Amino acid sequence: MKKKTINKNKFIQIFKKAIDIIENINDLEALRVQYLGKKGHIQLEINKLKGISSENRKDFGKLINDIKKYIQKEIKIKKLYLEDLKIQNKIFLEQIDISLPGRREDIGSMHPITQNIYYIESFFYKLGFDIIHGGLEIEDEFHNFEALNIPKYHPARNFQDTFWFDSVRLLRTQTSNMQIHIIKKKKLPIKIIVPGKVYRKDCDQTHSPIFHQIEGLVIDKNINFSHLKWIINHFLNDFFNKNVKIRFRSSYFPFTTLSSEVDIMQNNNSWLEILGCGMVHPNVLERFNIDSNIYSGLAFGIGIERIIMLYYGVQDLRLFLKNDLKFLKQFKRSRYY
């Protein structure tokens, strides 16, 4: 029988040329199948064993096996190389330049309206006032008007000025409504401030349909107008961080008598109305069985947006409502806790 053999060097040389040009895993797998698959070159050589004499079969089989092991080894090495190369390329494409400065995350802060509410609260807290948060923003006619001695046909009840849900319910027009709730529930004496949102049909450069008020109320024995003047004077001096020139100008509010508007002197030497106040009307006290011959009270209402516009020199109230961070982050009080 004719002796059959295989040129190992030539076989390996052809394989090496083929594997050297492989650049990805898919092509490498195709080469593996071409040489080691069921119908590959190695299997074709193995099939020749049947036609080889028994004395030559062992040497031929060993030769094929050596070539097969070599190919398996080279494919494994090439596969590890290509996988590592793929990882390196991915790392290169996704690398982070650690020499670049980090991205700064801006830390948020409280809105200037909230800051100033806290600032005002801290002042009155030191004077012994209780701070009543929350309160009913949807109110009934009795607590918002009638119990505050506001007549039925008073302009404040007009549908053009007030947000009514029906003939009885409305969005409160003032935090004074909380006076009535507190008087009904709290034992005398009373010394409170009530910060909160109020609603009126008004919108322009200095007015908004929704704004913030702080209502102050003191009911005790021997309370008089001099107490009210002392509180207002010290509050305004503290808020504006200077001695401000103020005047009390006679006015009218249905739920107070004496009633007064408080004006401050501006830099241009003109007076500007800044808040309203007065002595609690005896009718309000008597309605809830508080003897006005024994007890008296004072009340004041502070429009938050109004005084912070004056403090910061802002001309348009609407700027506080636009969520413009460049505008809002300019303002910070030194004490708002």
Residue range 166-182, pLDDT digits in tens: 888 989 988 888 888 88
Between 3.20.20.70, 3.30.930.10, 3.40.50.2300, 1.10.101.10, what CATH number should domain 112-328 receive?
3.30.930.10
| pTM of the predicted model as reported, rounded to 2 decimal places | 0.65
pLDDT recorded at residue 336: 47
Q: Where are the domains of the chain?
A: 8-94, 112-328
Kindly report the backbone phi and psi dihedral angles of residue 163, in degrees, each rounded to the nearest multiple of 5, phi listed first: -85, 100
Say yes or no to pLDDT of 243 above 50: yes
Of 127 and 50, the one with more pLDDT: 127
Of 158 and 94, the one with more pLDDT: 94
Residue-averaged pLDDT of the chain: 86
**Coil, strand or helix at 207:** strand
For 26, 114, 297, the CA distances from 217, given in Å and listed in that order, are: 83, 21, 7
Of 108 and 292, the one with more pLDDT: 292
Within 10 A of 46 (CB to CB), how many other CB atoms are there?
Answer: 15
Weakest-pLDDT range from 1-5, 161-165, 224-228, 324-328: 1-5
Q: The tokens 């008073």 sit on which residue?
A: 154
The token pair that represents 211 in the structure block: 């704004």
Rounded CA Rg of the chain: 44
Residue type, 176: S
